[in-house]
Structure 1
Amino acid sequence: MRKYRQEIEKYIDEHRDEMVADIIKLCSINSTRGEYVEGAPFGEGPKRALTMALSIAQKYGFDITNYDNYVGAIDLNNKEKGLDILAHLDVVPEGEGWSVTAPFEPKEIDGKIYGRGTSDDKGPAVAALFALRAVKDLNIPVKKNTRLVLGTDEECGSSCIKHYYTKEKEAPMTFSPDGEFPVVNIEKGQLQGEFSAALEDAGEKRLVSIEAGTKVNVVPPKAKAVIEGFGIEEVEAKAKEVTKETGIQFKYDLVPVFEITALGANAHASTPENGNNAITGLLELLCRLDFSPSKKIETIKKLYSLMPHGDTKGEAMGIAVEDEKSGALTLAFSMLTLKNNIMHGFFDSRIPVSGDGDKILKTVREKFADIDVEFLNDSVLAPHEVDENSTFVKTLLSIYEDYTGLKGECIAMGGGTYVHNIENGVAFGAVFPGTDTKMHGADEFVVIDELIASAKIFAQSIVELCN
């Protein structure tokens, strides 16, 4: 039996209801990134979530620090740095298709909490806070400090944590409860491609506009196009073919313009195979329609040939690569607009450790140049890897095994977390093997018993790593 395990387990179990209540309070706040206003760098929602989280921590007797409403910090004690736990309070947009509850009206149902942010990442953030609270209230002796760092812009580039590290140094060890158990020691590299082109138009049967996607790191569940010169029968006939082949559904509004809406299923861009991309489904339909010849239609068809529906590995782009350590490269066509004959779009690619980022970037640039579309990126984020044989990682794996009875091993993921640029940083929980929390999708949830187990694991980790 690990030292203090019984006390930790008893404490966390006794405070289950408080943990659930705090998660529900935090998840009731829409903390999607908004417009900058003075004192709220990412909008009022993220600021409100941070203010509430820090007030909860103060209520439990912790010292807090607010770094300009970018980041908040909660300290176990005032000793030297030992461990940082990095979590975030911002969320992706609510999206479509919620059925159990409204996105920001979280509910506890059958042992789960449903709502946007329950899994990513407010639930795990609260679990980490209760881990700190257990160590503090039980007076378990530790030689170093653990600091819980709460950011507010993880979903849109992590500028919050970059701001934090202009003011603070990294701790010797860092983990983020924003991934999966057991330990994520590898995060793939990333290319978030942006492109643009001015497209000439002509003829009576025209593509007027496209509006699709909300975030570069989300597979879009909806995509819209406005067309002219077509009858509904012609479009429906082609759409039925596409639906049969792809599963993408279509609906139509004929007044005041002919608008087509493609309906798919969203997913995190790091796992595009788990969704059904509405952009590529829409483009498949548009490429089958008999438009009048134009540079616009020609370019749309060439663009679609680089990222066709169902190609989530970059094979058509010529950048597919795979390895045993970190799996296959992934590619998600995530955003596209066409307005006033200006096309602008984004895709998200996650690159395994064996991938040559510079070579991939060069290939992509050449492919877009070939179709006369300007590619706007000049850098790739390199993969991140921490030694699986380090004492830090081995300790986390050992605690996970003891508390769960499951095998502890290192895994790789395509999703990026706060630790991607931190030398000795890994993702540690809070999603358990075999659980799909519908992160970034409709009806996102967290399993309460798994979050309780996470809090116990985090508390034990604090005790052992800081001694």
Structure 2
Amino acid sequence: MNEVIKKFTEDHIDELKKDISELCSIPSVLSDAREGAPFGEDCRKALLAAGSICEKYGFKTTNYDNYCIAADFDESLPKHLDMLGHTDVVPAGEGWTVTDPFTVIEKDGRLYGRGTSDDKGPVLCALYAMRAIKESGIPLKRNVRLILGSDEETGSIDITKYYAKEPEADYTFSPDAEFPLINIEKGQFRGTFKADAPVSDTGVQLISLNAGVALNAVPNRCRMEFIGTDRQMLEDACDKLKKEIPVDAEISDDTHLTIIGESAHASTPEIGVNAGLAGITLLKFLPLSNDRRNTLLSKVLTLFPYGAYDGSGLGISMTDKENLSLSATLDLFSVDRDGMSFSFDSRTPLNASDENCLAVAGKKCEDAGFTFETPGIVPPHYVPSDSAFVKDLLSAYNDVTGQDGKAMGIGGGTYVHDIKNGVAFGAVLPGIDTHMHGADEFIDIDNLTTAVEVFAEAILKICG
């Protein structure tokens, strides 16, 4: 059976590349809603274009008010497996060197363009898996449905609308991540600690510090303003800071400077350089007075020591039965003349709870002299690795690739986070950075053919 699918995929790869190119030419970035276009005209165009491709290959589609479109292999069969992907994309951004972001080109065995790997290329691989089975005359006993969303990048309202009308299938996978398979997505615990602490106008004082633009990203810039300093004093402090933390510093004048670090996603803070924490660390090397305001600022490093990403400063370091550990990063910093506020993002393993996480962190912050606020803990998503569904998907991946892929957990979230029996399954092969969300996004053509074959094998195992 694998040879039949493999032959079909090889014979139709040029058609797949053409369909990907046409779909990726639509700049389906969120824009203002209008009647019939809940996420803007371009998102509507891409969704309808994807639906037309499904219909072109003989699959009946259902349109859910232009939020989603679903394509069924055979709706007369019992509902069993959903494949959930999306046709919206993040903005093009800057720095593209290979092609215009919305003009797909093939170069060195790769397709370049926005959406090629996230997620237009992968959803069409899922469609071609259905097509390969259908056109090869292989019967199924249960239905597989491809669900195309149009709001994954900006809130997933599309899926909320879809599941308000349709029940979940017995099983769901999303081709919107990477192989082998993601069966655990950590929970999320966010909090803010703040204090009123007016600045004194005598001596050396920090009067403002700002770092961070989003709670899910390690800040790469920290802007600071002082009184009572001079350029030499700031240069000496920055030289000492650089011996502890790998940052750059730009000193504007006697009282202003910017610390430059490296951004990272909040789920992997260890690969970034937190400019906000570096800015707080810089204060150790300046002759600040020993008053309440500066004592509170020093406590920030007690709660979030630079280089400690496990929440140990908050007292919430923990690891669960699947060997997933808590991560924590302080990402929003705001200090002004009247006081200070800091917000953190923590990704929590299966054993995190209000008692061992929320209450402990809150008490640590309050004991340090801050007030503490939190919206609570978002539960993790977990599908057991020994479930028949996970085993079938991994078996399909391993059979096609010859690898020994295992289920894994991540700190980020995927399209299936709120779907009971949902996992992320492909389509990007392990160890490949396709620059999704960045400049020069691509997908390898060999990756496309492998994904089609893996998805087809998975459908046959689950629905055949």
Tell me which amino acid in the other structure corresponds to 2:198.
Answer: E
What is the correspondence of 1:78-97 to structure 2 with a 5 Å cutoff?
78-79=75-76, 80-91=78-89
Instruction: Choose which of 424, 427, 431 in structure 2 pairs with 1:430.
Output: 427
CA contact (8 A) 1:32 1:90 kept: yes
Per-residue CA deviations over 1:195-233 (Å, capped at 9, x if unaligned) read 55555334274433514234x33334x324141434444
Q: 1:28 to 1:260 in 2, by over 3 A?
A: farther
Displacement of 1:81: 1.3
Task: Provide the rounded CA distance (Å) in 2 between the counterparts of 1:293 and 1:376.
Answer: 27
In the alignment, structure 1 residue 453 sits paired with structure 2 residue 450: yes
Task: Provide the rounded CA distance (Å) in 2 between the counterparts of 1:102 and 1:233.
Answer: 46
In the alignment, structure 1 residue 384 sits paired with structure 2 residue 362: no
Displacement of 1:457: 0.7
Q: Partner of 1:243 in structure 2?
A: 242
What is the correspondence of 1:336-415 to structure 2 with a 5 Å cutoff?
336-337=333-334, 346-356=343-353, 358-415=355-412
CA contact (8 A) 2:234 2:251 kept: no
Tell me which amino acid in the other structure corresponds to 1:409.
Answer: K
Per-residue CA deviations over 1:143-202 (Å, capped at 9, x if unaligned) read 332222233443455343233211110001111123332232222222233555555334
Q: 1:98 to 1:131 in 2, by over 3 A?
A: same
Q: Partner of 2:233 in structure 1?
A: 234
Give unpaired runs (5+ residues) of structure 2: none
Tell me which amino acid in the other structure corresponds to 1:424.
Answer: N
Q: Partner of 1:203 in structure 2?
A: 201
Task: Provide the rounded CA distance (Å) in 1 between the counterparts of 2:452 and 2:313.
Answer: 44
Tell me which amino acid in the other structure corresponds to 1:429.
Answer: G
CA contact (8 A) 2:86 2:152 kept: yes
Instruction: Choose which of 165, 170, 173 in structure 1 pairs with 2:171.
Output: 173
Q: 1:127 to 1:284 in 2, by over 3 A?
A: farther
Instruction: Choose which of 120, 123, 136 in structure 1 pairs with 2:121.
Output: 123
Q: Partner of 1:111 in structure 2?
A: 109
Tell me which amino acid in the other structure corresponds to 1:192.
Answer: R
CA contact (8 A) 1:132 1:459 kept: yes
CA contact (8 A) 1:213 1:223 kept: no
In the alignment, structure 1 residue 9 sits paired with structure 2 residue 6: yes
Displacement of 1:324: 5.4
Per-residue CA deviations over 1:266-325 (Å, capped at 9, x if unaligned) read 3x3222223333333344335644567776655444334322332221121211112452
Size of the aligned set, in residue pairs, is: 460
Displacement of 1:384: 2.6
Q: 1:307 to 1:148 in 2, by over 3 A?
A: farther
Tell me which amino acid in the other structure corresponds to 2:240.
Answer: E
Give unpaired runs (5+ residues) of structure 1: none
Q: Partner of 2:310 in structure 1?
A: 313
Displacement of 1:6: 2.1
Percent of aligned pairs with the same residue? 43
Bigger Rg, which one: 2
- The alignment partner of 2:122 has SS state of helix
TM-score of the superposed pair, with normalisation by structure 2: 0.84
Task: Provide the rounded CA distance (Å) in 1 between the counterparts of 2:22 and 2:368.
Answer: 50
Which one is further off, 313-322 or 173-182? 173-182
Q: Partner of 2:156 in structure 1?
A: 158
